[in-house]
Amino acid sequence: MNYIVSIIGRPNVGKSTLFNRLVGRRKAIVHVKSGVTRDRIYGNSEWNGIRFSIIDTGGFSTSKIDFLEKEIKNQIFIAIKESDVILFLVDIKLGILNADIEIAKILRKCKKKILLVINKVDNGKLIYSDTDFFRLGFKEYYYISAINGSGTGELLDKLIEIFKKEFLKKKDKTLENEFLPRFSIIGRPNVGKSTLINSFLNKNHHIVTNISGTTRDSLDVLYKKCEYECILIDTPGVRKKSKIRDNIEFYSIMRTFNTIEHADVCLLMIDACCGWEKQDMNIFKLVEKNHKGIIIIINKWDLFHEKNQNTQKDYEFFIRKKIAPFNYIPILFISAKNKDGIENIIPMAYQILKSRKSRLKTNILNKIMLPILKKNPPTPNKKNKFKLITIKYCTQLPSYTPKFIFFSNFPQYIKESYKRFVENKIRSYFDFVGVPIQIFFRKK
């Protein structure tokens, strides 16, 4: 499950500092001046093996509302609606202000799990200050210092406890599907993702319109046909950051990113008539970064082929040129609306899943790869031109995705181009179509 935690509070209570602390790196700008954070900033956090997303929102202000303040308030309301848990942040040094009381009134009306977080407790004696935060009306409260991290461990423990309870509530409903492979259908808006789901199921399960952005959330669907059983995930279309029109769309896209992280194989859909665009490349790189299996699906091929003389071979060559050097990706041509070619998608996804989990025997890997590497050793560079680089041994690591480690006398001098050469040789002898593999060189 993908959980979302939002940090809500008035300006300058330390929301961005807490966000950076939980994410583990300085992603949000922190400044003594209030109102620096205006847009939503999101990141991923992990505690005790459980991952979740964190949203840093703009400061809630009771001052005269201009256009900017109105937009920030809208973002906060959306954050409240979309979150699983809300961290209501207040400042112990300034105490309760009118803005805190106004936020508390809003939060008490929503049916969400809310934790009152009292920040800037840099000195333990501040806990015994006269400020009565209990009158804000929240049972659970935590004293922390976001700037030095004190108290955040207890807060994270509570978040994980909440997530586990929520998981147990839904476990009975999802237990039978828990270990099924997850195939995520991703792409830009209006490329036919929901249409493909409907064609797979032979019914209008998802709303389909000509208006992009109809799908607002990631939707799981059970697919069961012949020997194949899996979860298909319909996701919202991913736009350029500058094209995101509203806050709901922002959260929709964020959930798509989370879906990619938890998918086994991603089906990247392209509109044949629009071609491969920059945003398609951005989505492709995101899948590659997460080391997921991938199939590129060219949809609406019937419409494109009616108006153009290009063959599938020409179109495939064009796509492969765009995604080079990633030449291991299968490309399928379909018409989701007419159900042409869709029968090949699920079997291909299963084949990728099988290859992604396959483990090569070390003796076979060495028997094939070492003679090749001996005949084609790494080229010495200027720094080590008098040193011969040799590779003596290789093995596949016991990981969920294929990772190979090669032991060399001078691994630090091996170029990236040689790493691609080794990867291509592995692919030429073993079946890793659609599966990203990682190559590492280590000192023997």
Q: What is the pLDDT of residues 425-435, one digit of tens each?
A: 999 999 899 99
Has residue 291 got a pLDDT over 80? yes
User: Confidence band (pLDDT; 50, 70, 90) for 198?
Assistant: confident
- Find out whether 319 and 275 touch, Cβ atoms under 8 Å: no
Q: Give the per-residue pLDDT at 36.
A: 37
Domain 179-357: give its CATH code. Answer: 3.40.50.300
Distance in angstroms (rounded) separating the CA atoms of residues 226 and 69: 55
Alpha helices of 232-311 — where are they, by DSSP H? 247-262, 278-289, 301-307
Segments making up each domain of the chain, as ranges: 4-174, 179-357, 362-443
- Find out whether 74 and 82 touch, Cβ atoms under 8 Å: no
| Out of 155-164, 166-175, 338-347, 389-398, least confident range | 166-175
Q: Give the per-residue pLDDT at 210.
A: 45
- Per the DSSP assignment, residues forming a β-bridge with 79 are none
| Out of 128-137, 231-240, 241-250, 411-420, least confident range | 241-250
User: Confidence band (pLDDT; 50, 70, 90) for 325?
Assistant: confident
Whether the ω angle into residue 325 lies within 30 degrees of 0, i.e. cis, is: yes
Q: Give the per-residue pLDDT at 381.
A: 65
Distance in angstroms (rounded) separating the CA atoms of residues 23 and 29: 13
Q: Give the per-residue pLDDT at 152.
A: 92
Share of the chain above pLDDT 90, in %: 29
Q: Which residue has the higher pLDDT, 213 or 364?
A: 364
Instruction: Kindly provide the b/e burial profile for residues 236-259, where b requires at least 16 CB atoms within 10 angstroms of the residue's own CB.
Output: bbbbeeeeeeebbbbbbbbbbbbb
Distance in angstroms (rounded) separating the CA atoms of residues 60 and 90: 11
Tell me which amino acid residue 39 is. Answer: D
Q: Give the per-residue pLDDT at 50.
A: 86
Has residue 87 got a pLDDT over 90? yes
- Find out whether 342 and 332 touch, Cβ atoms under 8 Å: no
Distance in angstroms (rounded) separating the CA atoms of residues 87 and 127: 19
Copy the structure tokens of residue 396. Answer: 């596949």
Distance in angstroms (rounded) separating the CA atoms of residues 352 and 70: 48
Place of tokens 């179109």: 315
Region 303-324: mean pLDDT is 87
Has residue 393 got a pLDDT over 90? yes
- Find out whether 442 and 408 touch, Cβ atoms under 8 Å: yes
Has residue 353 got a pLDDT over 80? yes
Has residue 245 got a pLDDT over 50? no
* Cα 253 to the center of its chain, rounded Å: 10
Burial level of 170, CB count in 10 A (0-12/13-18/19+)?
exposed
Place of tokens 């690591």: 397
Q: Which residue has the higher pLDDT, 70 or 207?
A: 70
Sheet hosting strand 141-143, strand order edge to edge: 41-47, 50-56, 4-8, 85-91, 113-119, 141-143
- Find out whether 304 and 342 touch, Cβ atoms under 8 Å: no
Region 110-122: mean pLDDT is 89
Average pLDDT over the chain, rounded to whole?
Answer: 80
Region 329-337: mean pLDDT is 93
The CATH class of 4-174 is alpha beta
Q: What is the pLDDT of residues 3-50, one digit of tens each?
A: 889 999 888 898 888 988 888 754 443 434 444 344 456 677 888 888
Region 218-222: mean pLDDT is 68
Has residue 192 got a pLDDT over 90? no
Has residue 364 got a pLDDT over 90? yes
Region 277-290: mean pLDDT is 86
Q: What is the pLDDT of residues 158-171, one digit of tens each?
A: 999 998 887 665 55
Q: Residue 207: phi, psi to the nearest 5?
A: -70, 130
User: Confidence band (pLDDT; 50, 70, 90) for 244?
Assistant: very low
Alpha helices of 5-122 — where are they, by DSSP H? 15-23, 67-82, 98-109
CB atoms within 10 A of CB 113: 17
Distance in angstroms (rounded) separating the CA atoms of residues 349 and 330: 10
Spatial CB neighbours of 428, under 8 Å, sequence gap ≥ 6: none
Residue in 290, 286, 310, 288 with CA at minimum distance from that of residue 298: 310
Q: Which residue has the higher pLDDT, 43 or 285?
A: 285
Tell me which amino acid residue 5 is. Answer: V
Q: Give the per-residue pLDDT at 344.
A: 93
Share of the chain above pLDDT 70, in %: 77
**Per-position DSSP letters for 81-96, written without gaps between them:** HH-SEEEEEEETTT--
Residue in 14, 23, 8, 15 with CA at minimum distance from that of residue 115: 8
Domain 362-443: give its CATH code. Answer: 3.30.300.20
Q: Give the per-residue pLDDT at 247.
A: 46
Has residue 277 got a pLDDT over 60? yes
Region 188-197: mean pLDDT is 85
Q: Which residue has the higher pLDDT, 72 or 408?
A: 408
Q: Give the per-residue pLDDT at 243.
A: 47
Region 321-328: mean pLDDT is 87
